[in-house]
Structure 1
Amino acid sequence: MKNIICDSNVWYDILSGNSNILNTLKATGGKLCVTPINILEIASKVDSNNFNYRQNVAKAIMDYADRYLMSNEVYLARYWGFKVNDEVHWKEAVLTLLRAPSYNDLVNGYIDPIDNVKRKQDLKLLESWREYHYKDFNTGIINAIQSIHPKYMERKADGNLKKHKKSKNLFEVKEEDIGASILACYERAKVVAKDNRIKELSKYKDKVLFIEEGNYLEVLKNKMEDITEETFIYFDPPYVNKAKNLYNFCFMENDHIILRDYIKKLKSNWLLSYDYDTSIENLYKDSKIFQKGCFEVTYTISESKRNKIKEFLASNINLSDL
């Protein structure tokens, strides 16, 4: 049997274990090949809870990108927020699509890449398939984004994705009214969201009593006449574990105790947050005075790296109401 370039619906059956075609290929020495539209159509329907399914899809995509993908086709990665013409970022985009844990966990798949097609007649057939599939390349992109990244669709400015534009070796999804890529629309939506947040916060500008730099005890002492029982005070002390690396000054153990003792005397409503540490939780353990709790915050360190950090909250108001 010679090498086979099959349609996406056959791939679904194979990757779900519902087809005997792989056994036939192995018995005859043939290879199964993947095309660009296969990649996108399969990715848009990947079952994120089925690791074997994701493993084999990712292996096919990685091999295709590494060994056969035309350089201009790497532009596809930018629709998921990754740099253009960067092989590493292409892989990251694929892993993001498939929600896979890491590339090293995916290299044991059994699907052969398309570059194993050696015969001239097979390559000629391949070129005709490439041309056929390119006609529907944009639809594949849209399906993948709708399925794997619905937030892009939810946050786009307005209108529906109706018009597709194809240029030589570069396929872009165009917004009907705006003429921008999906990523650009997403970035625009983020800017609009920030503008709206600033406008909302501006309503409270007259309620801010003071913004002042200095030692918190001295500042509060000097402003005590402005502070009433209706005043809300938020305390954001220096981190416990990383303070020396983040600030020009830092709290010592006794400074945290002084702050706690000062807060206990306040008659105003207050809220305090720390990076989580058992010493801080013990410091505010008196449940008769302090309401407390913990939550996780996601910090964006870079375009591809995010960390979750545990934060500690304490207050004299009911935190369950927040």
Structure 2
Amino acid sequence: MMNERYLELGLTALGRTGEEPGWFGGHYGAAVLAAYYMDREFDLPEHVRTGIQNMADHYIATYPQLFTPYENEQADPALLERIIDGLRANTARLSHSGHGNAYGFLALKALLDRPDMLLPSIVNGFYNCLIASSEGSGNRYYGVEEYSTFTIDQVTDIPEYRNFDDLVERAMDECRHVYPGQVIDGKKYHFTGEIEHGLTHAQALIEYDRLGYPELTAAGLPNHRIQMQLNRNIPVDHEAVRGTEIVEPSFTSIFAPEFWGKTYTDPHCLKVPYAALYLLQRLPEEKRAEAEINMCKILVQMK
């Protein structure tokens, strides 16, 4: 089992991410935290545990500037509220595919487990990352010039979630049709990436509630519906997309040795399997086999 050093390093990396402008660097600390919790929360085959740790070690070695511990700081429990403020900003509207929430619930979970890690540099740095991740705008989705102004009133295809079962089923069902990202008219659209972020976003919203912050969940649920609506903006008849749907992945189990025997540059290789396992256990049993195959349509594309 991965030791708590990985929790400490994951939080450290989230803090150091905020020392520079932007939010993208949060992927690596979040990946290490996802590895830590996936290893602890699921009964995994040994080759999967080995693969998880190898990938976490790979990111720690590749980005040493992110994983250098802070020294000579004292924890302050009152600083947790600053993290919650950053999470409120990310549940106020859909931004950057819910990345702030995908990072944020992992950080919240870790800080609740280890309040001694509420160090000023970690909290203030990660707060900066959260604010940056809450300010997304632009034409991220095909055919939508400015997604930040897309409102819940424009959602016509995604019914309101009555409960978490509805949320889970919707997030998983949207993975039935998976298309690799494509460049169209000079713009790169991350079609698979948007789908996988629907999974990590859903996991975050459920975890907020479990961790004692149902107000974050309530605020974020409409944004997940907006995300599901926008994710469907895939021009399947466009020459760049037509015929590219992944129908039969080369493996059909999340535990496939051919997946876990590699390391990847893409840190979603840890966050997506963690979200997939988390959501699969909440699906009706009769739907899990097909849903797992759909998850593998995403995993086979990891680089």
TM-score of the pair, normalised by structure 1: 0.26
TM-score of the pair, normalised by structure 2: 0.27
Query: By percentage of residues, which structure has more helix?
Result: 2
Larger radius of gyration: 1
Query: By percentage of residues, which structure has more strand?
Result: 1
